[in-house]
């Protein structure tokens, strides 16, 4: 785990160095390329993960596919009918997902509820920290998705509140967990890295760096190990091969959206709505994967 995060830090600062050479438009292009490659791929093997998780159950592939697509369609419908509620759920679910991936190997709570709350608060802190440095762009995207002017939302105040809640959880964990004490210094270093990253880079660039190097790649490694037993070049190739069709379908869908909406300012909003729709079932699958993995190690 530490080896992987050291690699993430190195790539993050390398990306920050590239920031001085890339114009804002170039950062956006490269950021989208990263999201469309590693970002989409890390969620493209959900059906194979479900089959692995349910290997002892009598569940057919087509039933799994039907249920998965149903969740995606329900998310799209929710974004269409009640976009502000869908966006709120997306932020909360994504927060939990980011926190779960980051703290997966360092569980400090015996209670599932406490673990879920901690993961959500940590992930929400990361997102609000990103939003804090790019308020105008975030509000523009939210306006495009929800159709509502959300200028009444005080991101700074929300970040302060979540910061105090997270600080309280950190203090509690520090006095109740030797494992947390051991990892505290490096975890604080990561937060410093995130702060620098989010402040220096543009919204898309900063999000892409965090999303790819701190979430997607670690998730790819965890999924590869779960599916094929260990992480190796050959197994990574197997992962990419099995994910290719679903990745291709996603890319084609995004390309079609781009050419339909490229002359409109709402493409960013539609793009993030698409990511949100495929995130809901993915988060559920990964949560189940970690549950099965942790049961085997008990």
What average pLDDT does range 18-38 have in this prediction? 77
Q: What's the CA angle centered on 60, arms 57 and 61, to 5 degrees?
A: 120
Mean pLDDT value across the chain: 82
The pLDDT value given to residue 296: 64
Whole-structure pTM value = 0.87
Question: Given this model, what pLDDT does residue 25 score?
Answer: 76
3-state secondary structure 116-157: HHHHHHHHHHHHHHHHHCCHHHHHHHHHHHHCCCCCCCCHHH
- 153-190 residue pLDDT tens: 899 999 999 999 999 999 998 988 888 888 899 899 89
| Number of structural domains found in the chain | 1
pLDDT value for 119: 94
**pLDDT given for residue 131 in this prediction:** 94
- pLDDT of res. 2: 47
Distance (Å, rounded) from C-alpha 37 to C-alpha 32?
8
Task: Report the distance separating Cα 53 and Cα 182, nearest Å.
Answer: 32
pLDDT digits (tens, 9 = 90+) for 214-254: 999 889 999 999 999 888 899 999 998 888 888 888 788 77
Which pLDDT score, from 0 to 100, does residue 27 have? 77
User: Which residues make Cβ contacts (< 8 Å) with residue 106, sequence separation at least 6?
Assistant: 1, 179, 180, 183
More confident residue, 9 or 201: 201
pLDDT: which is higher, 102 or 62: 102
Higher pLDDT, 103 or 60: 103
pLDDT at 59 over 70: no
The residue segments making up the domain with residue 144 are 2-17+26-297
């Amino acid at each position: 785990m530490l080896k992987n995060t050291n690699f993430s830090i190195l790539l993050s600062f390398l990306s920050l160095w590239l920031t001085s050479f890339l114009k804002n438009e170039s950062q956006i292009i490269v950021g989208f390329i990263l999201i469309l490659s590693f970002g989409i791929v890390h969620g493209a093997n959900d059906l194979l993960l479900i089959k692995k998780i349910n290997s002892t159950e009598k569940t057919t592939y087509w039933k799994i596919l039907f249920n998965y697509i149903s969740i995606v369609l329900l998310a799209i419908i929710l974004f269409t009918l009640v976009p502000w509620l869908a966006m709120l759920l997306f932020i909360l679910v994504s927060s939990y997902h980011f926190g779960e991936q980051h703290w997966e190997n360092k569980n400090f709570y015996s209670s599932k509820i406490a673990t879920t709350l901690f993961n959500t608060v940590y992930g929400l802190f990361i997102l609000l920290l990103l939003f804090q440095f790019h308020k105008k762009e975030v509000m523009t995207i939210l306006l495009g998705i929800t159709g509502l002017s959300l200028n009444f939302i005080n991101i700074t105040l929300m970040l302060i509140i979540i910061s105090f809640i997270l600080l309280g959880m950190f203090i509690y964990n520090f006095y109740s967990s030797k494992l947390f004490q051991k990892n505290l210094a490096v975890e604080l270093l990561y937060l410093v890295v995130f702060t620098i990253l989010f402040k220096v880079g543009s919204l898309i660039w900063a999000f892409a760096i965090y999303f790819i190097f701190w979430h997607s790649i670690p998730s790819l490694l965890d999924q590869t190990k779960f599916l094929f037993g260990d992480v190796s070049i050959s197994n990574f190739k197997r992962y990419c091969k099995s994910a290719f069709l679903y990745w291709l379908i996603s890319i084609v869908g995004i390309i079609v959206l781009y050419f339909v909406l490229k002359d409109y300012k709402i493409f960013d909003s539609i793009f993030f709505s698409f990511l949100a729709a495929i995130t809901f079932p993915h988060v559920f699958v990964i949560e189940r994967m970690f549950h099965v993995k942790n049961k085997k190690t008990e």
